[in-house]
Structure formats: structure tokens, C-alpha cells
Structure 1
Amino acid sequence: MTGLPREQVQRHLQVDAGLAGRRLDQALAALMPEFSRSRLQQWIDSGQVLVDDSPRRSRDKVWGGELIRVQAELEAQGDCLAQAIALDLVYEDDHLLVVDKPAGLVVHPAAGNPDGTLQNALLHHEPALAAIPRAGIVHRLDKDTSGLLVVAKTLEAHSALVGQLQARAVHREYRALVQGGLVAGGSLDAPIGRHPTNRIKMAVVRNGREAVTHYRVLESFAGHTLLSVELETGRTHQIRVHMAHIRHSLVGDPVYGGRPRPPQGCSPQLRAALQQFPRQALHAIRLGLIHPESGEPMAWEVPMARDLDALLGLFRQEAGHADSHP
């Protein structure tokens, strides 16, 4: 991109105890998830990141309590190509857009997914997003989680939305179909970090980062429960890890869920649907925030994802209350 103004990114951050022992670039990526790790490494290597007022290397460790000062120049990055990938836009104005992401779409390029992502699609939809960190993506959904996601279209909107997320002012509500019977809702306040032995998984660990999840029961089925889940924090795999932690893992979760458990005596159709459900049964159904320009509260809701709605329909048919769902 040419002709786009270069903007300054200025942040003052403190390393929390949950990041002790991590590389500087890893810790900074956790503290500033809206920027790619490669971009953060470039800033560190060029001296635009100071730790306790001194330059450091990306591989240097942090131990908690350090003060990080970022004063960096933000310019368009050409490592993510625009691609003509269909977007289901729920809302768009000059400052932000809201997408209903389908299951199977990766949010941004990473190892194993160099392109074909939401970020590639956004750059095709609006080329000026190349000047915004991660093409304006300020929060993520896992590849196989469907539903609502907000994207900033300006640096001002980006800063405001990141601030709202950090202040826990963004309302995110999900539908989750979990294994086992839950009779009441509750809250989970259990820190999440990298699994101690399996590095591709997250887990509830004593020295992890604070993670708070609230849930309530919407419908009960044989051996399964449909939950409304709200996030107070936004850790990687948070809902999946927390529900597995209380032994009510999400249906279809290939990492945290274990084998499907069809109810005894259920129909062949329901049994097959549970055994073949291709992803974690998680859908971001509602999103609420303060508009970064007008200051007005805004909220969006989308229908249940079709595959999850069809599975719930079989459960309701089995239970004889097909018309009782919310």
C-alpha cells in the first residue's frame, strides 16, 4: 500500500505474574494480541520496545513486574494478501464492521494456515485495512467456532475497541452444547495457561492468566445441556477449557472433549449426528459494545449456526419439546 499515513503506537504495559518465564516477544504478544508476533519482534529488534527503559532481545525472558514501553511506527504490512472470500457482514459503517464468521474459517494467518483466512477476506473487502493491526481484528474466534466478531476500520476505532476489551466492556454471549447434565448455572474463575505437558493445549493452571466465565442453563436434554455462556475475559480456548475443567466438555470438541456420548436408547439419527458432529458446538450469538465514534451502545444477534441448530433440533425431537426452545 502506498500513500497511507504512518501512525504511532504508544503503550505502557506491565508484565503480570502469569507471563513469568516467557520470552519477551511471547509476553508482548499476550499483552498486545491485536498485533502479530512478527510485527512485535520487528519492533523489539529495532529498539522500539523498552523493558524497564532498556532495549532487549525478543528471546530475553521476563519474570513479572517489568514495565514495557512501546513507541513504534505502524505501517502497512504486505505479508497478508487480499483474497476474494465471501463475508457475511451483519453491520458496517465508516468505523467498524461486524462479521458472522462461519465454522472452519481461520481468523488470521498462522503456521499451517498461511492464507484463506478472515484477515485475507477483510483486506479484499476493504484494502485500507492493511494499515490497521491484523486488518482491524481485535478479538478472535477459534477456527471451528462460529458467530459474531467485530473489526475496527480505523486506528481510532481499533484503540477504542481494544480498550473496551481490556476494560471488560464488550458483551460476548455464546451458545454451547455440553456433555452431561447441569441443573444450574454458575461462574468459573480459574486461571488459564499453556498445558504443562501438551503444548498445543491450554489448561487451568495455578500460574495462568486470570480467566472468568459465566454460564446459565437454557435447555436440558438426555446427558447433554445447552448453555448460555458469557465471557468476562478472553483467553485462548477459554470456554472450551473451563467447561472441560468442570467435566462438561463441549460436544464435538476434538481437543478437550473426548469421545461422543450418545444418550442410552436414543434414535439412530441422534446417535449418528453426535458421532459425526465435526466441530466444537460453540456459537457466538450476541455481541454488544460502545460505538467508538458516537459513544452509543450497540448490539447484534445472529441466528444459531445451521449445523448446531440441526443437532439441537434432533435433541428436542427426541425429548418431545421441539417447540419449547428459546
Structure 2
Amino acid sequence: VPETDQRCEPEDIPLHIVHEDEHILVIDKPTGLVVHPGAGNWTGTVQNALLHHDGDAAALPRAGIVHRLDKDTTGLMVVARSLVAHKHLVEALQARQIKREYLALVVGLPTAGGTVDAPIGRHPGRRVCMAVVQGGKHAVTHYRINERFRMHTLLDVQLETGRTHQIRVHMAHIHYPLVGDTVYGGRVKLPRDASQATVQALQQFPRQALHARRLSLNHPVTGEPLVWESPVPGDLAGLIEQLRLDRAEHER
């Protein structure tokens, strides 16, 4: 048994559940919530919450968690509630049959959508970070333009693989880092002659601007095609609205 599982205790942490049946659970994760215990976060995680929500989850690897979202990434996650579902979900993820779509706000103005196909592994100098490295794990990210602002772009992003920090690393690799990403993004970039409100909105945005907005899969037991969508959370919606105002102010 991995050390993390031994230390993981049930905790009464509210979960925003958008779907639940005897085999799967889909949750809409808020910002600031870690998915499973690890260095520095032994309690207060989604895994602790799942063990409290369902006593039977203790019989499943990592309480049924089959994929992760970073602590400050919001949005949809599917969790197994039975061993048969766990097996099928893991296989479906490996076969790339689970479609995960994200909304990402990036710094810069890509001219068109595209695909990043670049291997990801541990950063050679900063072990807590990931990076595009030779000999890393195969990683593919597709993106297309959703909306353009003066100095930022809202992208629809689809994961083909699910490496740690994949979207954040890949977008930084092609020089369009995520807004608010202090690890991979560098300093805050501001549009020229921006209003105080726009400057504040960008400088004070507290996390990477990434939201898992859509999840689609075939039910692991019934085979039924299922799709869930999550509304853009308030903090990101507010920033997008401010960038729209900034664009309108300078179009006159």
C-alpha cells in the first residue's frame, strides 16, 4: 500500500457533485483543493473528502481517483466508485477515450490554433517543476482560439495525454504561458495604457487561469455516452469580462 493511502483519513469536506451513480462520481473541483495527499498536503484533499462521502471508497486505489487536476485548476473530474469502473476508466484514459476540454487564458496573441507534441518530464534543475525534456513522457495538447483580447487570448484546449502540469508546461513552451501561473509564467504582462481596473484584475488574479470545462466519456459499465459541462468560475469569468472591457475601451 502506498504511504499516501495509509495516511489518508476520511474528512468532512464538501464536494460539488454533478453526477453520481453506483459506479462513477463526477465532481466540479474548486480552486485551492488538492486532489490527493502528498508532500505538504496530507489532509484536506479530494481523496479525504471521497473517503468521507462513501465508506466503500477505501477499497479502491486512491479512493477511486483516476486523473488529477492541479490544486488551483478548477473544473470537472471523474472518479470511480467500483473496482470494475476503476479498471475501465484507467483503460479508457490510456486509450484516450475520455475527452477533457479546458478553457485557458494565456499571455500573448497566437495567430491560430495548433497542437503541441513535446515530451514532458521532471525539470532537470528544479525538481518540483515539469518541463519539455528529451526522453520525457509523450505529451500532446491541442488548442484553438476562443476569443482574443489586446494582449491575451482565451483558448479552448484539449488534452490527448494527461501529464502533470501538461497544459501549463506546453503553453509556456510555445511562449504563451497561462495568466497567473507563477511557476511557468514569468511576470504579469499588461496591455498598453490599461485602466487601473484592468491592471488590478491581472496583477491580483490568484492562480493559473485554467478551467476543466467539459468532460465526455462512455459510462464504464453501461457504455452510455455522457457529457458534463462546468460554468466558468467567478474569478476567471470576472477577469475575462474585464479584458473585454479593456478591449472595448481601446477600440474606440
Q: TM-score range by the shorter chain?
A: over 0.9
CA contact (8 A) 1:145 1:284 kept: yes
Task: Identify the residue that residue 38 of structure 1 maps to in structure 2.
Answer: 3
Change (3 A) 1:204 1:37: farther
Q: CA RMSD in A?
A: 1.2
Instruction: Return the letter of the residue paired with 2:147.
Output: E
Counterpart Cα distance in 2 of 1:89 and 1:183: 38
Counterpart Cα distance in 2 of 1:249 and 1:267: 23
**Number of equivalenced pairs:** 249
Task: Identify the residue that residue 136 of structure 1 maps to in structure 2.
Answer: 64
Q: Map of 1:172-183 to 2, 5 A cutoff?
A: 172-183=100-111
Residue aligned with 2:7, SS: coil
1:228 equivalent in alignment to 2:119: no
Give the deviation of 1:315 after TM superposition: 0.7
Give the deviation of 1:96 after TM superposition: 0.3
4+ residue segments displaced more than 6 Å: none
Task: Identify the residue that residue 118 of structure 1 maps to in structure 2.
Answer: 46
Instruction: Return the letter of the residue paired with 1:130.
Output: A
Q: Map of 1:1-326 to 2, 5 A cutoff?
A: 37-38=2-3, 78-320=6-248
Give the deviation of 1:320 after TM superposition: 2.4
Give the deviation of 1:213 after TM superposition: 0.3
Residue aligned with 1:243, SS: helix
Give the deviation of 1:161 after TM superposition: 0.2
Q: TM (normalized to structure 2)?
A: 0.96
**RCO higher in structure (CA 8 A, sep ≥6):** 2
Q: Which runs of 5+ in 2 are unaligned?
A: none
CA contact (8 A) 1:122 1:129 kept: yes
CA contact (8 A) 1:290 1:297 kept: yes
Counterpart Cα distance in 1 of 2:227 and 2:159: 15
Residue aligned with 1:320, SS: helix
Counterpart Cα distance in 2 of 1:182 and 1:168: 26
Instruction: Return the letter of the residue paired with 2:94.
Output: Q
Give the deviation of 1:38 after TM superposition: 3.4
Instruction: Return the letter of the residue paired with 1:232.
Output: E
Counterpart Cα distance in 1 of 2:182 and 2:194: 22
Residue aligned with 1:258, SS: coil
Q: TM (normalized to structure 1)?
A: 0.75
Counterpart Cα distance in 2 of 1:133 and 1:140: 14
Deviations, residues 55-83 of structure 1 (Å, cap 9, x unaligned)? xxxxxxxxxxxxxxxxxxxxxx5521111
Counterpart Cα distance in 2 of 1:282 and 1:78: 31
Residue aligned with 1:99, SS: strand
CA contact (8 A) 1:182 1:220 kept: no
Instruction: Return the letter of the residue paired with 2:196.
Output: P
Identity of aligned residues (%): 60
Counterpart Cα distance in 2 of 1:134 and 1:158: 10
CA contact (8 A) 2:7 2:42 kept: no
Counterpart Cα distance in 1 of 2:183 and 2:246: 28
Instruction: Return the letter of the residue paired with 1:146.
Output: T
Change (3 A) 1:258 1:37: farther
Task: Identify the residue that residue 66 of structure 1 maps to in structure 2.
Answer: none
Counterpart Cα distance in 2 of 1:193 and 1:314: 35
CA contact (8 A) 1:252 1:281 kept: yes
Q: Which runs of 5+ in 1 are unaligned?
A: 1-35, 40-76, 322-326
Counterpart Cα distance in 2 of 1:79 and 1:224: 42
Change (3 A) 1:257 1:293: same
Instruction: Return the letter of the residue paired with 1:38.
Output: E
Instruction: Return the letter of the residue paired with 1:93.
Output: D
Counterpart Cα distance in 1 of 2:104 and 2:14: 26
Counterpart Cα distance in 2 of 1:205 and 1:79: 33
CA contact (8 A) 2:119 2:132 kept: yes
